[in-house]
Structure 1
């Protein structure tokens, strides 16, 4: 049985894993870079070890150093979180070789899931519907052009080794495809040192809907409902919710069965996520399996009543999933907003630095997974995600209004955030009516509407938020009039 877990990650996900381990009486080992020596996950873990410089390649991606800490600390398991080494089959294999329990799928299964072409072939064999496109890797740009003309533009060029929305280009004609081929090839080589490209039909007005799945080492397989992840920017998810407005019980059961078949097709164990595009006509197309715990897992925990990290640990321990598919029932509605350190008014430019003060929302049906605390620092070396704000309600409207109230109460001093954008989105009639699609921001001019909302002071602010962070009117006016350049050092001024 697992007795000590090393968390090969940082930030809120490291804290999330530590929280469950503490509840189960499992000791935890944190690792940290020069940048994170004073981070919350270092303080909360049973033990903490320095692993290198701030740059991820010299710390959180340093497999040998992390292995060295695992062995010296006596950790018998490792939880990779998400990002960094979480979907690196070489790391999973290194753990297997050293008899350390990797809390996730096997290295072979992870390798298969990470290879989009092989995974697609496995899905086709299992009769899982996939997006029309190249039957194999394209050899060169001329073959890509030929396939695109066969299936019809627009198409997507996708790196087999891409992930998180990276290594993808949209092409509307031969010229854009040729240019995109060079870009995607370069991105793939820069990221993983090799390139392999697929061509797929681009489906317009699509929704991004994913299913949480779990499979134990005894072959028991379940899905734990769907999550709607259509509110995105540049293929990066911003807001997620469950249940999806377009998934009823019949669809949930039908696609859920497909998800379970997909897990079996790649001999998947532990928790994972099967991702789909839903076309405007209602058809679902499998796109990939994320072989890890997802950022948005808390909304599934809210509606299912499960602790998904505990389920991961139980499966890694060799236990059977303690429930059947028929035992699972959805309860209520949940929404998650990813609170990013980005300046919406400067084309989402990163915003980093000290956070002198922070107020975390709380109350019935409100959860906030975050590494923030007064006096912490948002680092420029890592992902912009600072917090995951989650609300639950018995109805969608209750969850939505709780989220707006929580966003109003969330105060982060010192850095710009995506909070104002989320207020505009959640207040829009299109969001309230469930008119979601992956092009939601562009389709409904959300950035322009955000600017208007702020200019006209239509975004509600709680008394606490007003007292803590009133936006300076002269600054706001200059920003709206585009008088502030992208290179400016202006920040929201605090009264």
Structure 2
């Protein structure tokens, strides 16, 4: 039985730090924030019960500085640390450091995190647990000739992946042997630069696939539950953009089947707390396990809206040693939800980063609308951290109601001073393929969504000009009339002045 948590240090920033602070306030748990030089005026600093400075803006010297964060945790006397997502959330060394300092890490144990973080180890364990995996290498490949041999067996195209990758990083596509040999060296260097280890594996590239994940929770008593699926197929360069639940292709029978497989995956690595089992689904309806994300997901609000559960409070409860308070059969699906990640990027210019001061912002409201964000008028979007500025989530009794609410909320969402991905989502919400649920991880390219977005902007600007032309013409005429009348009045005044007759 764990000690009861009465204070939590949040080793993160932005909207996820605020999300955790709100859960702490509901549970009457003291919240402790940390902040870098760049975040001195951020909301998460003001909303927490206590806040401590941890270093310069660069993440390596602040939010990734394990020793400094642990020093603050000890000084503040906290019982637990919540890592949020990103930064140290999937770092087994940090989880182990918490364990050694008798501080509860709100997440899996370091050993389970090590297993889920090493894709090759995880894949071997999943095969033993009869969890279906993507065809490819059984272990890490450090020789390009061996990679070619495996690729020939699996069949091209193939993906080169870092065994320690995540968030879409460390992935290269090879359509033939020539490309594989070219990409192998680059992928090795990329893996070493991003993760410190040049460990690659080869995996069959499945075309026109959907990305579907199952939210999991598991307690220290061995109880495992899945909280249904989220479809995350709309992506750019392996980065998720839109997530939704339920998936348009999911049936109740298939949900139960894949959900049980996801639970088996969590049991196989003795997982603890909240996590996500990620699957790829091919056009034939086959599901392949790819990984377990050992943290709270960015898109967790989608699951919260369709289940009525508070995942952060559930995480804290599990970390307290309490059993999950519901059985699998107790869970029911309620309506449909989706999330758009509002990133500080310009979709019209190859998603170039956009940073700086936000002089004004207007957040959307209304039935079924939720906004998780750190934005406020006068805040600054920093170039030091992730581009995610807000998460716009909509709920409706059906997919279409959720979509319409999202579309309207996007129209109301105003962020001045920076460019964001809002225009892209406006296009997607009205796209016939999205409405029909015809999704895949290459959706943006397959249906030329970016080009469609540009055309829509051009049409809107053209229509605006047409609407303005009559008004402009009227204004010119009125100006000329005023000038003529003014000239005539001036002439009359002069005539009277000199005694003339008008």
3-state SS of paired residue (1:166): coil
3-state SS of paired residue (2:164): strand
Q: Which residue is 1:111 aligned to?
A: 114
Q: CA deviation at 1:192?
A: 2.4
Q: Which residue is 2:225 aligned to?
A: 222
- Which one of 404, 411, 415 corresponds to residue 412 of structure 1? 415
Name the CA distance, whole Å, in 2 between partners of 1:459 and 1:98: 63
3-state SS of paired residue (1:374): coil
3-state SS of paired residue (2:15): helix
Q: Which residue is 2:245 aligned to?
A: 242
Task: Show the 5 A alignment for 1:61-210.
Answer: 61-210=64-213
Contact 1:408 1:460 in 2 (8 A): no
Name the CA distance, whole Å, in 2 between partners of 1:460 and 1:57: 49
Name the CA distance, whole Å, in 1 between partners of 2:188 and 2:463: 45
Q: CA deviation at 1:367?
A: 0.1
Q: Which residue is 1:295 aligned to?
A: 298
Name the CA distance, whole Å, in 1 between partners of 2:78 and 2:160: 41
- Which one of 46, 49, 53 corresponds to residue 50 of structure 1? 53
Name the CA distance, whole Å, in 2 between partners of 1:383 and 1:41: 16
Cα-to-partner distance string for 1:124-183 (whole Å, 9 max, x where unaligned): 000000000011211311100111011110000000011000000000011111121112
Q: Which residue is 2:383 aligned to?
A: 380
Name the CA distance, whole Å, in 2 between partners of 1:433 and 1:378: 35
Name the CA distance, whole Å, in 2 between partners of 1:47 and 1:410: 31
Name the CA distance, whole Å, in 2 between partners of 1:458 and 1:324: 54
3-state SS of paired residue (1:163): coil
Contact 1:423 1:459 in 2 (8 A): no
Is 2:286 aligned against 1:283? yes
Is 2:259 aligned against 1:256? yes
Q: Which residue is 1:38 aligned to?
A: 41
Superposed CA RMSD in Å reads 1.1
Name the CA distance, whole Å, in 2 between partners of 1:192 and 1:333: 37
3-state SS of paired residue (1:29): strand
TM-score for both structures, normalised by structure 1: 0.92
3-state SS of paired residue (1:457): helix
Comparing 138-147 with 334-343, which one deviates more in the overlay? 138-147
Unaligned runs of 5+ in 2: 465-502
Q: CA deviation at 1:323?
A: 0.1
How many residues get paired?
A: 461
Is 2:341 aligned against 1:338? yes
Unaligned runs of 5+ in 1: 462-495
3-state SS of paired residue (1:71): helix
Could you say if the C-alpha distance between residues 17 and 78 of structure 1 is closer, same or farther in structure 2, counting changes exceeding 3 Å?
same
Name the CA distance, whole Å, in 1 between partners of 2:27 and 2:140: 45
Task: Show the 5 A alignment for 1:465-476.
Answer: none
Cα-to-partner distance string for 1:276-296 (whole Å, 9 max, x where unaligned): 000110000000000000000
Could you say if the C-alpha distance between residues 157 and 5 of structure 1 is closer, same or farther in structure 2, counting changes exceeding 3 Å?
same
Name the CA distance, whole Å, in 2 between partners of 1:183 and 1:219: 42
Q: Which residue is 1:361 aligned to?
A: 364
Say which structure is richer in helix.
2
Contact 1:159 1:168 in 2 (8 A): yes
Cα-to-partner distance string for 1:218-274 (whole Å, 9 max, x where unaligned): 000000000000000000000000000011100000000001100000000100000
Q: Which residue is 1:305 aligned to?
A: 308
Cα-to-partner distance string for 1:424-483 (whole Å, 9 max, x where unaligned): 01100000000000000000000100011111119999xxxxxxxxxxxxxxxxxxxxxx
3-state SS of paired residue (1:119): helix
Contact 1:358 1:373 in 2 (8 A): yes
3-state SS of paired residue (1:253): helix
Name the CA distance, whole Å, in 2 between partners of 1:38 and 1:180: 43
User: Which protein has the larger Cα radius of gyration, Structure 1 or Structure 2?
Assistant: 2
Q: Which residue is 2:433 aligned to?
A: 430
Name the CA distance, whole Å, in 1 between partners of 2:433 and 2:253: 25
Could you say if the C-alpha distance between residues 115 and 411 of structure 1 is closer, same or farther in structure 2, counting changes exceeding 3 Å?
same
Q: CA deviation at 1:195?
A: 1.5
Name the CA distance, whole Å, in 1 between partners of 2:112 and 2:104: 15
Q: CA deviation at 1:184?
A: 1.4
Cα-to-partner distance string for 1:93-145 (whole Å, 9 max, x where unaligned): 00000000000000000000000000000100000000000112113111001
Name the CA distance, whole Å, in 2 between partners of 1:354 and 1:194: 37
TM-score for both structures, normalised by structure 2: 0.91
Name the CA distance, whole Å, in 2 between partners of 1:222 and 1:276: 17
